[in-house]
C-alpha cells in the first residue's frame, strides 16, 4: 500500500457519500430543481421524489405509515425536535431522564431544561459502557415526561437495549415518551421501530453515506410534539422550510443501500474491525479495549493506549494518512477527556490516550493490514517520550 493513501477510519464522525447516492441526487440539482409544493407540472417530479423518499424511509424504520416520517437537517435537529417538541407539547411533567453518555445534541438540551427548573436524571453505565437498567427503573415516575436513550454510542459503539428501555419506562409510566437517538445505529444494525416501540427515533444521513445536512425523524402516530421550525406547511406543519429535495432523495437512496448491505456490515465489516482490534491488542503492549465484552455495532472499536496522549497519536497517524479520532469529533479539539470514557470509569492511564477507529463498507483488508503494520512503531516511539517510564516498564513486564 502506498504511503500517501488516505485510510479513513473515522466513519462515526462522518462517512463518504456513496457514488450511487450522488448519482440519484444530481438530477434534483440540475433539471428537476422545482419547489415540490408548486402547482405546475414541473414541480410534480420533485414532489414525487419526496413522496417516494418518505416511503423508503418508512420502510427503513419499519414504520406503519409515511406520515410518521419527518425530514430534518441533521441528527442534532432530530434530537432537538424530539426533546423540545415533546416538552413543548406537555408542560405538566417536570422530570426528564437520559444517560450520561449521550451525544451533546441530547445532553445540551437536557442541561438547558435543567437550567429552566426541570429535574433531570442522568443514568450511568458500567465499565463496559453498558446502561444501568436498574437505575433507570428506579428513576421513572409519574412526573417523568421524557426518557432519551441512544441506540449505539458514538465513541464505543456499545449498543443499548432500547427495547428493554422502552418496556421499563412504559411499564412504570405509559404516558412517558421515549426518544431514541439512532444516529450511530443506522446503517450498522437494523432499526425496527415496531420492535423498539419508542415514540421518536432519529437518524442522520452523513453517518451512512448520504451527504451532511439531512436527517430523518420517526414519530409514532399520535405522538404530540411542537415544531422546532415554525413557518410554512411543509412536513405536515412540523418542520417548516422548502423541502431539500436532492438531499431527501440522497438519504433515501443511502437508506436503501444501507439496508441492502446490512449483512455485509454484520459479517465483513465486523471481521475487519475484529482483525484490527485483535491485531492492535496483541502487538501493542500498552493497549486496552475500552468497551470490554459489551455488545457493539460492527464497525467501531475504542482502544486505550496507556500513558500516551491521544492527540499525539492522531497527529502521527495523520502523517501516514490514517484518520481516526479521540473522543467524539465534537469534543476532540478540546483537551477535556471524553465524557463517555469518564462515565465508564476508564482509568486515567488511558483516558487521554484512547482512540476510536470506525470502519465502513468501503474499508478494505489492505487498509487494515497497513494500520496493523504501521501503528506498533508509532506507539513505540511515543512510549519512549512518555513521562510515565516506570509505569510503562511495569506494564511491559506483565504483558
Residues that are catalytic: 330
DSSP string, 324-378: -BSS-TTTBTB-SPPHHHHHTT--HHHHTTEEEEE--TT--HHHHHHHHHHHHHH
Q: At what angle do helices 365-384 and 310-319 cross, to 10 degrees?
A: 130
Applying CB under 6 A, does 76 fall inside the site for ligand PLP? yes
Nearer to ligand PLP, 154 or 360 (CB): 154
**List 63, 83, 105, 198, residue binding ligand PLP (CB under 6 A):** 105
CB of 395 to ligand PLP, least distance (A): 32
Binding segment for ligand PLP (CB under 6 A), chosen from 180-188, 284-292, 300-308, 377-385, is 180-188
CA 71, CA 240: separation in Å to the nearest integer?
A: 10
CA 74, CA 179: separation in Å to the nearest integer?
A: 16
Applying CB under 6 A, does 154 fall inside the site for ligand PLP? yes
Residue 381 grid coordinates: 516511539
CB of 206 to ligand PLP, least distance (A): 6
> What's the order of all strands across the beta sheet hosting 300-305?
287-289, 300-305, 354-358
Q: Report which DSSP code applies to 55.
A: H
Applying CB under 6 A, does 200 fall inside the site for ligand PLP? no
Binding segment for ligand PLP (CB under 6 A), chosen from 72-80, 192-200, 249-257, 380-388, is 72-80
CA 350, CA 18: separation in Å to the nearest integer?
A: 35
Number of residues that bind ligand PLP (CB under 6 A): 13
Binding segment for ligand PLP (CB under 6 A), chosen from 70-78, 135-143, 218-226, 267-275, is 70-78
Task: Indicate the residue whose CB is closest to ligand PLP.
Answer: 75
CA 160, CA 164: separation in Å to the nearest integer?
A: 9
| Local structure of 318: helix, strand or coil | helix
Applying CB under 6 A, does 215 fall inside the site for ligand PLP? yes
Q: How far is CA 292 from the centre of its chain?
A: 19
Applying CB under 6 A, does 210 fall inside the site for ligand PLP? no
Applying CB under 6 A, does 326 fall inside the site for ligand PLP? no
CB of 15 to ligand PLP, least distance (A): 11
Applying CB under 6 A, does 150 fall inside the site for ligand PLP? yes
CB of 394 to ligand PLP, least distance (A): 36
| Residue 21 phi, psi (nearest 5) | -70, -45
Q: Is the dihedral of CA 364, 365, 367, 372 positive or negative?
A: positive
Applying CB under 6 A, does 109 fall inside the site for ligand PLP? no
**List 7, 183, 193, 272, residue binding ligand PLP (CB under 6 A):** 183
List of residues contacting ligand PLP (CB under 6 A): 74-76, 103, 105, 150, 154, 181, 183-184, 204, 206, 215
Amino acid at each position: 500500500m502506498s504511503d500517501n493513501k488516505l485510510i479513513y477510519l473515522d466513519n462515526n464522525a462522518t462517512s463518504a457519500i456513496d457514488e450511487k447516492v450522488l448519482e440519484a441526487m444530481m438530477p434534483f440539482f440540475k433539471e428537476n430543481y422545482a419547489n415540490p409544493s408548486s402547482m405546475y407540472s414541473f414541480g410534480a417530479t420533485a414532489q414525487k421524489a419526496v413522496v417516494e423518499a418518505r416511503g423508503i424511509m418508512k420502510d427503513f424504520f419499519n414504520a406503519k405509515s409515511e406520515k410518521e416520517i419527518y425530514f430534518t437537517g441533521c441528527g442534532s435537529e432530530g434530537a432537538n425536535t424530539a426533546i423540545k417538541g415533546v416538552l413543548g407539547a406537555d408542560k405538566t411533567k417536570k422530570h426528564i431522564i437520559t444517560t450520561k453518555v449521550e451525544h451533546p445534541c441530547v445532553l445540551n438540551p437536557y442541561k438547558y431544561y435543567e437550567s429552566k427548573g426541570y429535574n433531570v436524571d442522568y443514568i450511568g453505565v458500567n465499565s463496559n459502557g453498558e446502561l444501568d437498567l436498574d437505575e433507570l427503573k428506579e428513576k421513572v415516575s409519574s412526573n417523568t415526561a421524557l426518557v432519551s436513550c441512544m441506540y449505539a454510542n458514538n465513541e464505543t459503539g456499545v449498543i443499548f437495549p432500547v427495547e428493554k428501555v422502552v418496556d421499563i419506562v412504559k411499564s412504570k409510566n405509559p404516558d412517558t415518551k421515549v426518544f431514541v437517538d439512532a444516529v450511530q445505529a443506522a446503517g450498522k444494525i437494523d432499526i425496527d421501530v415496531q420492535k423498539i416501540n419508542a415514540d421518536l427515533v432519529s437518524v442522520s444521513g452523513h453517518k451512512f453515506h448520504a451527504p451532511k445536512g439531512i436527517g430523518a425523524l420517526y414519530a409514532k402516530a399520535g405522538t404530540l410534539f411542537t415544531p422546532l421550525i415554525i413557518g410554512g406547511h411543509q412536513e405536515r406543519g412540523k418542520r417548516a422550510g422548502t423541502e431539500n429535495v436532492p438531499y431527501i432523495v440522497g438519504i433515501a437512496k443511502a437508506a436503501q443501500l444501507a439496508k441492502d448491505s446490512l449483512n455485509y456490515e454484520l459479517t465483513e465489516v465486523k471481521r475487519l474491525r475484529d482483525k484490527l482490534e485483535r491485531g492492535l491488542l496483541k502487538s501493542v503492549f500498552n493497549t486496552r479495549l475500552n468497551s470490554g465484552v459489551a455488545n457493539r455495532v460492527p464497525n467501531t472499536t475504542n482502544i486505550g493506549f496507556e500513558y500516551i496522549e491521544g492527540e499525539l497519536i492522531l497527529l502521527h497517524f495523520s502523517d501516514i494518512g490514517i484518520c481516526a479520532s479521540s473522543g467524539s469529533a465534537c469534543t476532540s479539539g478540546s483537551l477535556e477527556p471524553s465524557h463517555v470514557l469518564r462515565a465508564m470509569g476508564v482509568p486515567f492511564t488511558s483516558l487521554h490516550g484512547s482512540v476510536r477507529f470506525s470502519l465502513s463498507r468501503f474499508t478494505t483488508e489492505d487498509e487494515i493490514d497497513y494500520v496493523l503494520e504501521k501503528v506498533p512503531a508509532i506507539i513505540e516511539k511515543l512510549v519512549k517520550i512518555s513521562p510515565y517510564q516506570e509505569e510503562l516498564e511495569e506494564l511491559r513486564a506483565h504483558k
